[in-house]
Chain A
């Protein structure tokens, strides 16, 4: 069955798919799951809608897409595995010849390089198989393709339908492992394994550090695969390990500027192709959020398997100055398990992640595509007639994956922050608001009633007030909400913060608090409501500002543990370079990434974090996700502590939130219980474990 037809034959076939986010599954698209060779009957291809436009083209995000695929059903590409390819210039030439002869043998019209915008299959190999478990009976075979569109190269691996050797492997499993259009801008390296006995296989590592399961080439073709890639993207053999091929390696300064997925400036460029390859002919008349849904660009897949554990430790990467950097971030997570069944999704639908145990510790997880933000209409479906939230978990989950529309934030944030409880009614909330308003006025009056005379003898008050005044005038003044002389909202910031420093006198005012309050006031637009929401936020984040820094230390410590778990080479790198204190993450944590993203994105991130949906500590996984995004650059450029801190500070404004959230989600799921044990009990935003006053008496005159 695994044999491919010995006769070469090409069939030209146009595939047009209408893409919709929820409904399309691979089942709707038999052509992509068809069996190789003769089984692709004309009747099957006639199931596909035909379209007559002569030169269908890939187009970018918002326009309809149609794809003319020429299905190359059999081999024709001879396995010229006589000489080693990798850095051999002749190889590329021979491949060009091969593909030219292929073209000649192709009597039927097919898309080719003469159609610059078209997608072209430049490589196709059948019977490329993954081994989800160690049992030979549970294998999934499929078709591996390299598709070129414009100047971008993508890889797909689609399992065959109904061909599984074991009934246990359901449609669901096939979906789970399907690799859909991964752009090579997101591939870091490919490791080739050529065991003396058994099949050759490759492991593809993404730039996020995550990897796909090994792909076994039952019919050979690894060299050809690499050779084809080399014709289209920058591929070099690692100086450290002849079996590792680096994609878009940053060692070469020219390439660094050209292909730098990891340079902040290039982030948007890099994510472009992942959205543009989505296939379909109806307009993707979605907003940006929906478009992101189409192709999880950095579809963070995680894999850990036995083969990998054994081989992983010798994987090294070439870096500019020649010292080796271990590149396998996953060698340490092989023992990770998560027992809960989670939903995950690809562009083609939602499915459940299988329990790791079921598939012998093999995990493949995508961060779920981001959804459009929750709007009013949908919001009301979460409320009963009295205004109680019926299923707070479902609501939090919804917000976790999409955030909240701007106009709804005022309402939703009060719940997320815990100011309103989910089971309160409209009437109860209205009542609470009025009670809280007078309570606020009472506290505010405490400092308002301090006369100038009294203030002269009240140093602490004067200092606090002075400090707050210095900070509010330099908080988000570029926003129209806060700009201009004698801005009323700036005065509100001051009053609320001063009132808070009386409400929580022990904690007082600390730099960073004005950053935390600013978006809250911007959303709530009401002094008392903003105050109480800020109070609720400080219930969670107050320990960040403790004089003894214990809240910060426990979070920085947790990050170091998580990096150790999720990316041990990076951890070792930080260890060697005296960076284990993770102080370069200080600002991220202290003010919840407020300075790292533009205002709107910060609010989006905050509401996602505040759901506490997957974890109270998702923000720590966000840190890990960002560090992993830039790990190659950090290690490749041998950054030391100061360079690293400068680099991290300068990432501000250049981090793309959605992919980071997806990575963070995937990392959180994959770390599972082991991740949770990295985080000491009582780490903010968890409430402190020890009761009693958690702000030790602060004295600002120590110095």
Chain B
């Protein structure tokens, strides 16, 4: 499956990050091409899917958007368990959100799928005047921790699709045989994969 055979992959992806960093906005931009200035806070979690064509394959992302508040942290493992990829989002105008992002990275490194593809997204790049987190600092952190890094803007759409595209390229073509928990989105029956690709 690495090169031939079924080239249509389903990949579970989870978005983590501080309140208001722009997780929902990034998903909305990627999935619907929209931006809502007063995007409501996420209660519980939301689920979306979107398919990308990468070279000669398609990747159907099954995206879990989580609630940012620390109070709801205990629910997070339910969503990142079994995920093939994660985007950890912070707000470049908010230093605390960067610190929070680092904690998420640590948690995923300790608890998550070891093969997980992780991206660090410095969002709200359209607000350079109020920037608090230097791109170099984030870049260096990402490198040390084996993530890839991009600054994004859900508002202007800059780099949004690129993050997902980059993740898609990095996904191992061979899916893990089994995931431990119930909420597994990776190993779908073949016909669901096929139907996903025919609609893409």
Binding site for B on A (CB under 8 A): 463, 466-467, 470-471, 473-475, 477-478, 510-512, 514-515, 545, 547-549, 578, 581, 583, 586-587, 590-591, 595, 641-643, 645-646, 649, 698, 700-703
Contact = CB atoms under 8 A, between A and B. Distances in A.
Please provide the 8 A-B residue pairs with the shortest distance between their CB atoms, ordered closest to farther.
Answer: A578-B182, A586-B44, A477-B38, A470-B20, A646-B47, A587-B43, A474-B38, A511-B69
Interface string B101-115: 001100100000000
A646 B27 CA distance: 14
B194 interface: no
B182 A511 contact: no
Interface in B28-46: 38-41, 43-46
A512 B70 CA distance: 13
Interface string B181-194: 01101000000000
Contacts of A549: 74-75
B69 A467 contact: yes
A541 to B, nearest CB: 13
Nearest to B72: A511
A445 B83 CA distance: 47
B190 to A, nearest CB: 13
Given A649-B47, A703-B100, A703-B103, A474 B40 contact: yes
Residue among A515, A642, A646, A703 with most chain B CB within 10 A: A642
B19 interface: yes
B97 to A, nearest CB: 10
Given A467-B69, A477-B38, A642 B75 contact: no
B44 A511 contact: no
Contact of A586 (B39, B43, B107, B185): B43
B183 A641 contact: yes
B134 interface: no
B11 interface: no
Contacts of B72: 511
Contacts of B43: 511-512, 515, 586-587, 590-591, 595
Contacts of B68: 511
A664 B45 CA distance: 25
A700 B39 contact: no
A474 B103 CA distance: 26
B70 A471 contact: no
Contacts of B75: 549, 583, 586
A510 B48 CA distance: 25
Contacts of A649: 46-47
B40 A583 contact: no
A642 B185 contact: yes
B174 to A, nearest CB: 22
B39 A703 contact: no
Interface residues of B, number: 33
Given A470-B19, A474-B39, A590 B44 contact: yes
B47 A700 contact: no
Contacts, number: 85
Contacts of B69: 467, 510-511
Interface of B: 19-20, 38-41, 43-49, 62, 64, 67-75, 78, 96, 100, 103-104, 107, 182-183, 185
Contacts of B47: 642-643, 645-646, 649
A581 B78 CA distance: 11
Nearest to B21: A470
A702 B46 contact: no
Nearest to B181: A578
B71 A578 contact: no
Contacts of B20: 470
B182 A641 contact: yes
B48 A511 contact: no
Residue among B43, B64, B72 with most chain A CB within 10 A: B43
Contacts of A698: 71
Given A547-B71, A583-B45, 11 more contacts: A474-B41, A545-B71, A548-B74, A595-B40, A595-B43, A641-B183, A642-B64, A645-B46, A649-B46, A701-B70, A703-B103
Nearest to B94: A466
B60 to A, nearest CB: 12
A632 to B, nearest CB: 20
A351 to B, nearest CB: 42
Contacts of B49: 646
A545 B43 CA distance: 12
B185 to A, nearest CB: 6
Contact of A478 (B38, B46, B103, B185): B38
Contacts of B73: 702-703
Given A586-B44, A587-B43, A587-B44, A510 B71 contact: yes
A702 B48 CA distance: 29
Nearest to A482: B38
Contacts of A514: 41
Contact of A700 (B48, B70, B182): B70
B71 A511 contact: yes
A511 B73 CA distance: 12
Contacts of A463: 96
A642 B82 CA distance: 13
Contacts of A641: 182-183
A590 B67 CA distance: 13
A643 B78 CA distance: 15
Residue among B47, B67, B100 with most chain A CB within 10 A: B47
A595 B40 CA distance: 10
A515 B69 CA distance: 15
B186 to A, nearest CB: 12
10 contacts: A463-B96, A467-B69, A474-B40, A475-B40, A510-B69, A510-B71, A547-B74, A586-B45, A645-B46, A646-B48
Contacts of A515: 43
Contacts of A643: 47
A152 B72 CA distance: 48
Contacts of A473: 38
Nearest to A548: B74
A510 B43 CA distance: 10
B71 A645 contact: no
A515 B71 CA distance: 16
Nearest to B67: A511
Residue among B38, B96, B107 with most chain A CB within 10 A: B38
B185 A702 contact: no
Contacts of A478: 38
Given A467-B19, A470-B20, A511-B72, A642 B67 contact: no
A265 to B, nearest CB: 18
Nearest to A474: B38
A531 B48 CA distance: 36
A475 B37 CA distance: 11
A645 B45 contact: yes
